[in-house]
């Protein structure tokens, strides 16, 4: 296998590249996780994480992938036989549904076409029909990584309120946290699920449940068995900065640095940067004569752009050619869109120059793989960014 020089462009929609600052922060000796030194670290990350979720409520940190956080949300709030309403927005909503089903939960899966986010009106209509309040929870993926569509969480919260329904509200922000505006408290979310390897710019390995008082109350009365995922067992030692079992110590050092970096840039500036890069990417796709998978402009993802391949052209073949020739990894199509789309990640530690380099690789790859397209996508993205030079200037952080 030929050695490729230069940096590898990791442009999948997560895990995202880990900044040098975070790598250096994790490059520490492992410390005693029962020591006063660790308690200081524990307190700092448990409290610091709240600002990223925009909550004053507890944020529970598990040594796990986002899948573990999905399961924790389910087993701490629901009971076998409960009914939940979930929106089919793509591959990851489908996976969350499957986990709930395995735990004996009845999932009403509102059908979707994988090209849009969750429909607030459809959710409201179904909750209005549920006069007996048999639906225990509404579960939504905020940013559907498989499709590049975001769901309008504030509008879904309003839909639940309009229906006068007491259902818990659970939201997956695994790929949106720290990349897309999100407000756990303001939007009255009961459980927010997330992970370390996307907007937080960490390696995979830690996951999160941000929980409301209503969710904590549910965890004291539901009957789902759990041990490792038990919130109550986590919260007791968390009060002192500790964990009930061995934590991912060095990842917590990285989390401390990630929170510091987000505060320095300012969350509003982080969100604006992601939107700016996403808009430039869509300009490139349009100039190539290709089609963005997401059909609703109000739901375009700031995290990634999923691009439809022309008929009879295989996205995985294109990705293979592009990787081998230009040392860039692009996201594959998943589930129903496998082989039909490729995904360009523009999240985390990504700026204008990184994006232009990545889009250059995408465009050269289209030519190398023989994919029908027009040239000029990179120039279109550059023009979009150049037309927004004021927005590209450094900002004063908003803390």
Summarize pLDDT for 263-307 with one digit per residue, the tens: 999 999 999 999 999 999 999 999 999 999 999 999 999 999 999
Q: Are residues 281 and 257 part of one domain?
A: no
Of the ranges 3-17, 72-86, 221-235, 288-302, which one carries the lowest mean pLDDT score? Answer: 3-17
Separation between Cα atoms, residue 308 and residue 343, nearest integer Å? 9
* Residues annotated within a binding site: 343
Per-residue pLDDT tens digits for 94-107? 999 999 999 999 99
Q: Are residues 377 and 239 part of one domain?
A: no
Which CA distances in Å does 118 have to 121, 291, 298? 9, 21, 12
Single out the residue in 206, 228, 263 at which a domain terminates: 263
Separation between Cα atoms, residue 40 and residue 21, nearest integer Å? 20
Question: Does residue 388 sit within a domain?
Answer: yes
Question: Does residue 397 sit within a domain?
Answer: no
- What does the chain come to in residues? 399
Reported as a pLDDT band with limits 50, 70 and 90, residue 399 is very low
Residue 48: pLDDT above 70? yes
Question: Does residue 203 sit within a domain?
Answer: yes
How many domains are there within the chain?
Answer: 2
Q: Are residues 301 and 205 part of one domain?
A: no
Q: Are residues 309 and 182 part of one domain?
A: no
Reported as a pLDDT band with limits 50, 70 and 90, residue 398 is very low
Q: Are residues 313 and 208 part of one domain?
A: no
Best CA proximity match to 354, nearest among 19, 15, 1, 5 = 19
* Residues annotated within a binding site for substrate: 343
Question: Does residue 43 sit within a domain?
Answer: yes
Give the H/E segment covering residue 292: strand 291-292
Single out the residue in 232, 263, 294 at which a domain terminates: 263
Q: Are residues 274 and 243 part of one domain?
A: no
Question: Does residue 1 sit within a domain?
Answer: no
Give the H/E segment covering residue 62: strand 59-63
Single out the residue in 226, 246, 263 at which a domain terminates: 263
Q: Are residues 247 and 271 part of one domain?
A: no
Q: Are residues 78 and 193 part of one domain?
A: yes
Residue 323, domain extent: 9-16+266-392
Q: Are residues 277 and 178 part of one domain?
A: no
pLDDT at residue 4, as a whole number: 80
Q: Are residues 378 and 304 part of one domain?
A: yes
Separation between Cα atoms, residue 57 and residue 47, nearest integer Å? 10
CATH number of 68's domain? 3.40.640.10
Question: Does residue 237 sit within a domain?
Answer: yes
Mean pLDDT calculated for residue range 100-119:
98
């Amino acid at each position: 296998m030929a050695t490729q020089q230069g940096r590898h462009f990791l442009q999948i929609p997560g895990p995202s590249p880990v900044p040098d600052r975070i790598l250096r922060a994790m490059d520490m000796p492992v410390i005693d996780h029962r020591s006063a030194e660790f308690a200081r670290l524990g307190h700092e990350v448990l409290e610091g994480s709240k600002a990223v979720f925009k909550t004053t409520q507890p944020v529970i940190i598990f040594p796990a992938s986002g899948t573990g956080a999905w399961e924790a949300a389910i087993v701490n709030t629901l009971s076998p036989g409960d009914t939940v309403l979930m929106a089919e927005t793509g591959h990851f909503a489908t996976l969350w549904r499957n986990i709930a089903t395995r735990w004996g939960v009845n999932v009403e899966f509102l059908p979707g076409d994988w090209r849009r986010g969750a429909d607030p009106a459809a959710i409201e209509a179904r909750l209005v029909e549920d006069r007996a309040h048999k639906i225990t929870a509404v579960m939504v993926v905020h940013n559907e990584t498989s499709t590049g569509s975001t769901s309008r969480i504030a509008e879904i919260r309003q839909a639940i309120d309009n229906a006068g329904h007491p259902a818990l509200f659970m939201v997956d922000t695994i790929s949106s946290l720290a990349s897309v505006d999100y407000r756990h408290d303001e939007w009255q979310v009961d459980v927010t699920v997330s992970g370390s390897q996307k907007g937080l710019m960490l390696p995979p390995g830690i996951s999160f449940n941000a929980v409301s008082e209503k969710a904590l109350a549910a965890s004291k009365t539901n009957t789902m068995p759990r041990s490792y995922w038990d919130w109550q067992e986590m919260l007791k030692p968390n009060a002192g900065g500790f964990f009930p079992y061995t934590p991912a110590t060095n990842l917590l050092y990285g989390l401390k640095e990630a929170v510091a970096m987000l505060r320095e840039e300012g969350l509003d500036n982080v969100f604006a940067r992601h939107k700016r890069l996403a808009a430039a990417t869509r300009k490139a796709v349009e100039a190539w004569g290709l089609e963005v998978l997401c059909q609703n402009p109000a739901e375009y993802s700031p995290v990634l752009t999923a691009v439809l391949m022309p008929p009879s052209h295989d996205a995985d073949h294109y990705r293979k050619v592009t990787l081998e020739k230009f040392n860039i990894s692009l996201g594959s199509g998943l589930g129903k869109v496998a082989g039909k789309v490729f995904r360009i990640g523009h999240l985390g530690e990504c700026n204008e120059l990184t994006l232009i380099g990545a889009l250059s690789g995408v465009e050269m790859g289209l030519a190398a793989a023989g994919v029908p397209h027009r040239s000029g996508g990179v120039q279109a993205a550059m023009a979009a960014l150049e037309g927004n030079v004021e927005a590209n200037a450094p900002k004063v952080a908003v803390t």
